[in-house]
Amino acid sequence: MTVPADAIPFRRRGGGLAWVLTSAGMLGLLAAATLLVEKIALLRDSTYVPSCSINPVLSCGSVMTSPQAEAFGVPNPLLGVVGFTVVTTTGVALLAGARLPRWFWLGLQIGVTAGVGFVHWLIAQSLYVIGALCPYCILVWVVTITLFVGVTARNLAAGLRTRSAALRHLPRWAPTVGLGWLAVIAALIGVRFWDYWSLQLRAGHSPLVWLAAGAGLYVLILAAAVMQSRFARSGPG
């Protein structure tokens, strides 16, 4: 007998991945929309200073005015708004009890894979070409990696259901993979800009700004850990 969708406990609909998609999608959408608003303001007034331009390292303005900010001929945040809207909608649908076909999951896998590849190109450009960081962009980086790990783990689990029990447990390592991945990026950021921060400290400047930035990155990583742990406990959606 088929159980009506409204009879399924809300917390169990779609599994942990539904929460990952919804939460990460909304965070990414918020960051992308904010970046788009800032970009429009900068286009209207070249002297405008974005709210996330804090110092020479945490400088959204430097990133937004670079060629990399329009890699495909349109502002990158516009791509983010579209992509994260799809992700958020997918998460909400899963929470509502929707069952998505295999072709949709394959399409989503292609999308998050392209997204994580693009994000790592942007990370390399920010660290080693532009030489500046955008706080909102860092949020997008964390969210995109979290989404890639979550969706890939779900699809891997679905593909291995009929295989050995040992292989079926591989996706349970998703939180560890995600946290390790983010930790490597955090280390690269620290090493790349350590000269600037150490100079500020030697000059007697307050470390509060970079401590706040580090705390913010820690909170983002912690949020990713919570979302991925929920996925690991609940299994694929």
Q: At what angle do helices 135-159 and 174-192 cross, to 10 degrees?
A: 150
Full residue range of the structural domain in which residue 183 is found: 5-234
- At 210 the pLDDT is 56
- At 232 the pLDDT is 54
* CATH code, domain with 180: 1.20.1440.130
Domain count, the chain: 1
- Which amino acid is located at 140 in the chain? V
Please write down the HEC assignment for all residues of 191-228. Answer: HHCHHHHHHHHHCCCCCHHHHHHHHHHHHHHHHHHHHH
Question: What is the mean pLDDT for each group of 10 consecutive residues in the chain (237 residues)?
Answer: 41 68 93 94 89 85 90 92 96 92 95 97 95 91 93 82 58 80 89 82 60 59 58 54
